[in-house]
Every structure is written in structure tokens, then in C-alpha cells.
Structure 1
Amino acid sequence: MRPLSRADTSLLGRWWWSVDRVTMLGLGILLSVGYVLALAAMPAATTHITDPHTLAMIKQIFFLILSGMTMLGMSMLSLRQVKLAALGMGIVFFLLTGFTLVHGTEVDGANRWLALPGFTVQPSEFLRPAFVIITAWLIAESRRTPGFPGKRAALGVYLLTALLLKMQPDIGMTFLFTMVVLSQFYLDGMDMKWIGIAAVLVVLALVYAFFFISHVHTRVMMFIDPPKGSQAQTALMAFGNGGMWGLGPGEGQVKHFLPDARADFVFAVAGEEFGLFFCAFIILVFAAIVLRAFFRLLAEPNLFVVLAAGGLVVGFGLQAFVNMASSLSLIPTKGMTLPFLSYGGSSALAVSIQMGFLLALTRKRHGGEGA
């Protein structure tokens, strides 16, 4: 196969020379690490193809491949196509998120999931990338069209979405949406006075959640005074067992005592089986993707791109931070996946759409292209 020439004007050629290949490489590394951890998180004795653990591993690998293909497909969209795709996704998954309140699957006192044949899906994960694009679109349009109430509309979309998430309740996802929309208003030049007021309101909301939402209260108390044998303590034991270089793929033992080893605590599995340096490498890859996106946005003249890409990468980075920090007992545990590394097909697909949008938004464009 011949290498693509810069003179190639086909869709593939234009995409290859305009997409951010550094960010794409970082995301490809995370997908590869996700494949390795999908194997490592399974019990070592799992060998038969019909074993449930083997089937789960195969399903996860299938979803990782599908996620990579989805991300590449989404990265080829124009700005107009990104907006239209986000609008369609936003409407569908907002309705499905509301549907969870009526027919959702309850886990730990929260209705966040819809049960489908063979797997469950959390609609709010797919709602998030669409929400980021829509709010960025509204805020940018308020600058572009004098008199258009875009900022008030974006705030209204946020409040409606936050109310829906609070009713599930999903405090972690509500916090994530809040931080994303605050970052967008900040990038738009919001006065620091309003940022300070918003920060105070976020703190008050967290205090309210601690006192009046039972599972939040329980998790915070377990963080302050962890009982013997708690998941957080077990995860720290896994890191300790792994040391610098780890015990080797499939050799970890602590993962057998972690109910969420493949999802919420997959970072602890990485620590036990591959060691400190491997965990540091994972952190560096996440940090590189986030910083790379922000550096590219410094020279971006399109306000919509700045707000949308900024919101997407803030959500991506915060999600990774929350998962890894809770695994290290730096913050209370929160059922939030580690992008591309945690077990869960719908989670991997949702993140692939999010990062596909990011790749599409940060492509190099010539004047007037993809309004």
C-alpha cells in the first residue's frame, strides 16, 4: 500500500494530513493498554472458551476494536456534521436518561442503567459528549449572533440535565457535567466573580449530597474511616504487592477480592500486575492527551472549537483523574470508569465518540472549511 501523499484530495487523504496524529497515537496506546488489562483482569485459570470470564474478556476486546473504529469514523466529520451528530445524540440520550427513572436497572440505590439483551448501557455516558458540543454551540452562537440568548440557553440545558442526573441520583456524573460547563464559560471569558460564585455553589451542593444522599454519605464516611477489608484498602494492597515492576500478567491475587476489579479498580490491577512504572506511564499518556489538546487550542481562532474541544478534554481528564485517585484512596470511591481501560462496552463506545469528536474538532482546517 502506497503512503498517502499530501496532494491526495480524497476523504482519507484530507483526513490523514489534517488529523492530530499525536493525540491519535495516545488514544491508540490507551486502547492497547485496555486490551492488555482486559486479559490481565481475568482469573489466571480461565482457559475454556465457554467460561463466563473468557466470554466477558472476548466481549470487551470486541468492544475495544469497535470503539477504535468508531473513534476513527467520528474523527472524519466536519464541524457541521459534529454539531448535527451531537444534536441527534443529545435528544435521543436525554430521553433515554429520563427513561432510566421509569424502567432503569437499580444498582446501589441509583437508576442509571438500561438493560438490553446481553449488556447494560448507561445513557448519561453517551449524553455527555453531545451535551458538551451543544452547550459550546449555544455559547459560541451568542457571540456570533448579537441578541441570541445562547449563554442562557446553555445554562438552561445544563440545569435541566443536572436535575435529571440528580434524580437518578448520579452525583459523580452531575459533578462532571458541572465542571465541563464551568470550564466552557471560563474559556468564553466569564468574569472570575461568577466563577467564584459557581465554585461556592458546587461546594454547597456537595455538602448537601453528603448529608441528604445516603450512598454519598456512606462512601465519604468509608473514605474518612475505612473499615478493614474495604475495596479502597484492598486496592492499596494491590499497588503494594505490585511494587516497581509488578508480579506479571495474570499473576495478581488481590484482584480476586475486588468486586469491581475490571471496572472501577482496573488501575489497581495494573499496579499489582505491571507495577509502579506502568501506572506512571498510563498517567503520562492521559496527561499528554489533555495537554496536547489544550496546546492546539491556544492557536485556534474558532470559538466553538475552543469551547467544544476544551469541554471534551476536561471531561476526559477529570474522568480519568477521579478513577485513578479513588483507586489510590486520594478521594472517596466513585463508580466512574477509566477511559478505554475499564471493563464495559458501552463505556468504551461512549468515550470513543467523545474522543472522535475531539479529533474531528482539532483537525487542521483551511479558511471557510466545515463551518
Structure 2
Amino acid sequence: MTTQYGQSVILPRSDRSVITEWRRSVDWQIIAASVTLLALGLVLSLAAGPPAADRLGYDDLYYFVKRQSVFAGAAVIVLFGASLLNRTWARRGAAIIFCVSLVLLVAILIFGHEAKGAQRWIQIAGFTIQPSESVKPALIILSAWLLAQRQLYPGGPWAIVALVFFVVTLGLLLLQPDVGQSALLTAAFMVTFFISGMPWKWAAAFIGGGFALCLSLYSLLPHVRYRVNSFINPSDYDTYQIDKASEAISRGGLLGAGPGEGTVKSSLPDAHTDFIYSVLGEEFGYVAALALIALYVFICWRGLRGASQVRDPYPRAAAAGLFALFGLQAAINIAVNVSLIPPKGMTLPFISYGGSSMMGIALTLGLGLALIRRQTITGRRRYV
């Protein structure tokens, strides 16, 4: 803090205001890396947005760029706002968000907007909302809190309640169907579940159930079967998007073709959303692509490191699950772009275009930051 004459003002240690405590305790390195990602997302929206707008018939070529700017500004507010919460209010807020998101997930099945064979969005007051983005971090925090209650009240059915919440959420996602988000949520939930100290014998049940579910989805959902088969035998199927993404990354080489010089993006469907990483690879090259991966790794490392230093079981497990959720989403999107796994229809955190995705990721990181903040009073507590 500085005066109008440029002299520094040191805040007294007796200052216990919410903002002062937040400034002293929040992980500024994660915030800096997150804001950097948002800035990179705006730069890439300038590269991928105009061709996408032209291809989709918008009169304003900067339609997606302008909306992405609004989403990025809102994401900053959500990120900072959520990080201001203490651990009790983080859990209370997550409970409210979870209940509202579940209602919206049910509403989607009745009134939802269908696109590309899936019913994942609902239109409210002119805005399209995807509740799956907000239900994920909310479920992780709520589950971690429930599982932590086993140490305070050993006789309660806390693990069963957490599993019921997970199964209900998973079922609603699969009814849309949204297999990618379901897999991501399952992985993050398992991280939270086992860090909470659940016995390893549950791992066999999770793995067995997951394997059976995968076989069922492969048998029952034609689009899942098509994506898996086209990944295994690409020569027998239409793999246009993956081929174009690979072509873009290959064309970029080490340093890229140059800002705005990419050509593949004009013919690549979803270049501004699911395949924006390939746009980065073509225009800025392997060096920039690896630097972006390093940013994601840094955020996850800082977050998991911070979670490991928390003594209380609820915030420790919740924070680990949230940062795992963030990192896994980035890893899945990048893996699809470089043809390591079948397409999942998942955005690249803070980079891809999309309001619901941007808000969900900002909420995830903001709550994660709130949970790993250095507390004035340490030790195990009862969170109500």
C-alpha cells in the first residue's frame, strides 16, 4: 500500500480486517499464474475467435473475442471473491451451489437446450448455463466435509451420504449424456475420497464399478462407441477434427507460424473451444505449448503442496480434490489435441471460449485458494 507521494505504508499486525488477512494468507503465485492464463486466453481468442465467428455466420467477427473479455472479467471477480471465504463459508457456499446445480441438472432433462446430440445446457434470461461446471467443485467440497465428520462422529453414515451425492450427480450427468465431465468428476472425487482416509479396499470397488460402467456406456451410447473405435482404428472412421488439430500443431514447429498466421483454424471445428490448444501450437509453436503446460503444472503443484500443509482433514482433502479437478481437465483437453485419448468435448481451463466453463474453473480455483490459505488458528476444528 502506498500514499499519494509514493511512500510505502506497512499495515500493522493488529489489522485483522478480512481484506488484510486475505492479502497476508492467500497464495499470490497461484493467483498470478491464473491471471496469466486468463490473459493468454484473451490473446488466443483474438487468433481463434474471428475465424470461428465467420464460419458460424456472425456479422461481428469479434463476437467471441468480446464475450470472452466479459467472461474473463467475471472470472477474475469470482476467483478473488471465492478466495476471500474462510473454510466454513466455503463449505456453506458449496452446499448452496450444489443444491442449485442439482435442480438445474434435473431441469436440463426437461427444458434443456440440445446441441451436438447432448442436452447439457439450460437457457435462463437469455444466457446459456451449463450446471455441470458448478456442480463439480461444490460436490468435491461437500464430500470432503462429510468424510471429515467421521473423525468427530464415527458412528454416522458420512461416507455413504457422500457416495449417494456422487452417484446422483454422476447419474444426472450421464443422462445428458456427458461422459467426459462424468469421468473428470469421478477422478477428482476419488482423489478426495482417498485423501480423506478411506480404506484402500474401496479402490477395488471403484475400479470394478468404473470398468463395468465404461463397458455399459460403450455398449449403450453410439457416440461413445464411435469415438473409441475411431481412436483405435482411425483409418476406418472420419477423424477430421483430430487430423486437423495434429496438422496445426505440426505446422507450428518450434516457434510457430506467427500471431495471426495460422491457417488450419479456419477449417477446424471448435477451434475457439475444445481445440484452441492446437491454434496455440500452430501460431506460437512447441515452446509456447510447453510453457502453457508448465503454467498448469505450476498451479497444481502449488495447490497440492498447499493442501498437504493443511492439518484439518476437511480443507486438506477438499483442496486436493479441487486442484486435481483443475489439473485433470487441462490434461484431458491437451491429450485430446495431441491425439493421446479419444475426443471428450472438454474445454481448456481459462483458455477456451465459454462462460459456464470460465466461471466453473474460477470457482474451483477460488475455493481451492480459500481452503489452503494460512489460518490464524491452526489445528483440527469442527466446521459447521
- Cα distance in 2 for residues equivalent to 1:97 and 1:248: 42
- Cα distance in 2 for residues equivalent to 1:45 and 1:190: 47
- Cα distance in 2 for residues equivalent to 1:356 and 1:146: 31
- Aligned residue in 1 for 2:244: 234
TM-aligned CA deviation for residue 368 of structure 1: 6.2
- Aligned residue in 2 for 1:42: 49
- Cα distance in 2 for residues equivalent to 1:117 and 1:54: 23
Contact in 2 for aligned 1:111/1:169 (Cα 8 Å): yes
Pairing 1:213-292 to 2, within 5 Å after superposition = 213-226=221-234, 227=237, 230-292=240-302
TM-score by length of 1: 0.94
- Listed one character per residue, the Cα deviations across residues 140-166 of structure 1 (whole Å, up to 9, x for unaligned) are 112222322111110111111111111
- Cα distance in 1 for residues equivalent to 2:239 and 2:92: 49
- Cα distance in 1 for residues equivalent to 2:206 and 2:146: 19
- Aligned residue in 1 for 2:193: 185
- Cα distance in 2 for residues equivalent to 1:298 and 1:161: 27
TM-aligned CA deviation for residue 169 of structure 1: 1.2
TM-aligned CA deviation for residue 299 of structure 1: 2.0
TM-aligned CA deviation for residue 13 of structure 1: 1.4
Please state whether the residue corresponding to 1:235 is helix, strand or coil.
Answer: helix
Select 1:307's aligned residue among 290, 295, 317.
Answer: 317
- Aligned residue in 1 for 2:5: none
Query: What stretches of structure 1 of length at least 5 have no aligned partner?
Result: none
Select 1:201's aligned residue among 196, 209, 212.
Answer: 209
- Cα distance in 2 for residues equivalent to 1:317 and 1:154: 23
Contact in 1 for aligned 2:230/2:238 (Cα 8 Å): no
Letter in 2 for 1:243: G
- Cα distance in 2 for residues equivalent to 1:233 and 1:140: 46
- Aligned residue in 2 for 1:57: 65
- Listed one character per residue, the Cα deviations across residues 49-74 of structure 1 (whole Å, up to 9, x for unaligned) are x9433122111111101101210011
Contact in 2 for aligned 1:44/1:251 (Cα 8 Å): no
TM-aligned CA deviation for residue 131 of structure 1: 0.8
Call closer, same or farther: CA 1:193–1:93 in 2, change over 3 Å: same
TM-aligned CA deviation for residue 359 of structure 1: 0.8
- Listed one character per residue, the Cα deviations across residues 252-285 of structure 1 (whole Å, up to 9, x for unaligned) are 1101111100000010011011110101011011
Pairing 1:31-180 to 2, within 5 Å after superposition = 31-43=38-50, 51-180=59-188
Call closer, same or farther: CA 1:181–1:164 in 2, change over 3 Å: same
Contact in 2 for aligned 1:255/1:269 (Cα 8 Å): yes
Please state whether the residue corresponding to 1:168 is helix, strand or coil.
Answer: coil
TM-aligned CA deviation for residue 228 of structure 1: 5.8
Query: What stretches of structure 2 of length at least 5 have no aligned partner?
Result: 3-7
Call closer, same or farther: CA 1:135–1:229 in 2, change over 3 Å: closer
Please state whether the residue corresponding to 1:111 is helix, strand or coil.
Answer: strand
Call closer, same or farther: CA 1:364–1:336 in 2, change over 3 Å: same
Identity among equivalent positions (%) equals 36
Contact in 2 for aligned 1:219/1:332 (Cα 8 Å): yes
Please state whether the residue corresponding to 1:42 is helix, strand or coil.
Answer: helix
- Cα distance in 2 for residues equivalent to 1:44 and 1:163: 37
Contact in 1 for aligned 2:140/2:322 (Cα 8 Å): yes
Aligned-residue RMSD, C-alpha:
2.0
Please state whether the residue corresponding to 2:50 is helix, strand or coil.
Answer: coil
Please state whether the residue corresponding to 1:147 is helix, strand or coil.
Answer: coil
Question: Are positions 1:14 and 2:24 aligned together?
Answer: no
Please state whether the residue corresponding to 2:61 is helix, strand or coil.
Answer: helix
Contact in 2 for aligned 1:6/1:13 (Cα 8 Å): no
TM-score by length of 2: 0.91
Contact in 2 for aligned 1:132/1:180 (Cα 8 Å): yes
Letter in 1 for 2:299: I
Contact in 2 for aligned 1:46/1:53 (Cα 8 Å): yes
TM-aligned CA deviation for residue 6 of structure 1: 5.7
Call closer, same or farther: CA 1:67–1:170 in 2, change over 3 Å: same
Q: Which moved more, 1:289-298 or 1:265-274?
A: 289-298
Contact in 1 for aligned 2:85/2:370 (Cα 8 Å): yes
- Cα distance in 2 for residues equivalent to 1:233 and 1:310: 35
Contact in 1 for aligned 2:52/2:271 (Cα 8 Å): no
Call closer, same or farther: CA 1:45–1:166 in 2, change over 3 Å: closer
Call closer, same or farther: CA 1:228–1:10 in 2, change over 3 Å: same
TM-aligned CA deviation for residue 117 of structure 1: 4.8
How many equivalent residue pairs? 369
Question: Are positions 1:26 and 2:36 aligned together?
Answer: no
Call closer, same or farther: CA 1:258–1:345 in 2, change over 3 Å: same
Select 1:5's aligned residue among 11, 14, 36.
Answer: 11
Contact in 2 for aligned 1:41/1:262 (Cα 8 Å): yes
- Cα distance in 1 for residues equivalent to 2:369 and 2:52: 40
Please state whether the residue corresponding to 1:367 is helix, strand or coil.
Answer: coil
